[in-house]
Structure 1
């Protein structure tokens, strides 16, 4: 079975978001825990969360993904910015326990000219403060395109973060097709080789979800610009290989393409038809 969904808004509630996914023929989804630019999250309604969990069970959903706000930078040079990231992510993980056994994704951060080593150490420090043995949520590091001073543009950088986390069993990776392609991993011509490298450096057992996006920019551009499926430099044939790859096909695929809901519905239909 193919598990595919897209990024949806939780503004109308958790159950409403799940029903919207069903209208798109989706059986997974991603949502921001709060305004993607940061700020206070809406109060949790436990009954609404329970209703979403029941809907997921009844419709055979895979795990769903909560995404941290884009503005968080756990390895910023400014201490207050790092503290804000810690406070938001800690609160998010507490809130995620109303939707137990799901996934929480975040960008590892930008070291802002402090150097990769300093940035990695700050991100590790944050994770070691917020992760708890009793939590059911798996926290995911996202593969990044490498724009500016982003951390996570190489599998080695992600491994260094994982190796520094005390509760590594609570950690995993989100593989973004646009980002890895822009970072210089040739998933178009050598998907097998890229996955072999990922397995050797990180381990495919740590891969929990795929962000399925085409790229507006060419290979190795280090630019994070998503494109609609089949309209970018990755192309539909390469993305079809991704969803059908024996090492990936069981994972949830999340679309983050520049679309409205009807566009997502069209892409989900196309990809389901390509899934063998």
Structure 2
């Protein structure tokens, strides 16, 4: 079964997101953990959370994904910015325990001229301060496009971060199709080769989710501009191969394409039609 959803606004609450997902024939969704350009977060409404948990059980949602705000930079050269990232992520992970067993995704950040090795060390140190053996949330590092001094556009960088984390069982990766293609991994012409490299470097056991996005820019551009499915340089045929690949087809797919809800509904319908059931 194809587990697919899109990014939904959390402004009207958790149950509303679940109902919106069902309205477009999705069985999962992604949401921002708080204001994506700031730090404010709504108070947890336990009844609302419980209503979503009941809906997810009733309609067999496999898992959902919370996305950390874009403002965080866990490997900034400024200590106050790193401390801010740690504070926000700690609070997010505590809040995620109201929705146990789900996913929390973040951008590794930009080393801002310090060099990737120092950036990797700082990200690892932050994660080791945050992760507890008791948490049920899996933290995902997102693959990045390689803009500027971004950490995470190379599989080796993500592997080094995970390798340095004490509780590796709480860590995973979210592979963004636009980002990896823009970073220079040819998922259009060599999907098997890219996945083999991922497996040899990080391990496919750490791959927990897919951001399914087309790209507005050509291969290896390091630009990171998402496009609607089938309307970019990756193309629909490559997307079909991705959702049907034996190593990927069981994973949850999250659309982050430039769409309104009706556009997501059309993309989900098209992808479901192209999915080959077992």
Name the counterpart of 1:266.
266
Name the counterpart of 1:109.
109
Name the counterpart of 2:182.
182
Structure 1 segments (4+ residues) deviating >6 Å: none
What is the root-mean-square deviation in Å for CA atoms of aligned residues?
A: 0.5
Instruction: Give aligned pairs, total.
Output: 276
Name the counterpart of 2:70.
70
Distance 1:10 1:51 in 2: 14
Distance 1:172 1:120 in 2: 15
Residue 80 of structure 1: how far off its partner (Å): 0.8
1:19 alignment partner, SS class: helix
Name the counterpart of 1:155.
155
Residue 79 of structure 1: how far off its partner (Å): 0.9
Cα displacement string for residues 6-58 of structure 1 (whole angstroms, at most 9, x for unaligned residues): 00011101001100000010000000010001212100011111110110111
Q: Does 1:100 align with 2:100?
A: yes
| Contiguous gaps of at least 5 residues in structure 1 | none
State the TM-score, normalized to the length of structure 1.
0.99
Cα displacement string for residues 81-136 of structure 1 (whole angstroms, at most 9, x for unaligned residues): 10000000000000000000000000000000010011111100110001111000
| Contiguous gaps of at least 5 residues in structure 2 | none
State the TM-score, normalized to the length of structure 2.
0.99
Distance 1:27 1:78 in 2: 40
Cα displacement string for residues 176-222 of structure 1 (whole angstroms, at most 9, x for unaligned residues): 00000000000000000000000010110000000000000000001
Distance 1:271 1:152 in 2: 28
Distance 2:135 2:170 in 1: 8
Distance 1:81 1:159 in 2: 24
1:85 alignment partner, SS class: helix
Distance 1:38 1:145 in 2: 23
Distance 1:51 1:139 in 2: 24
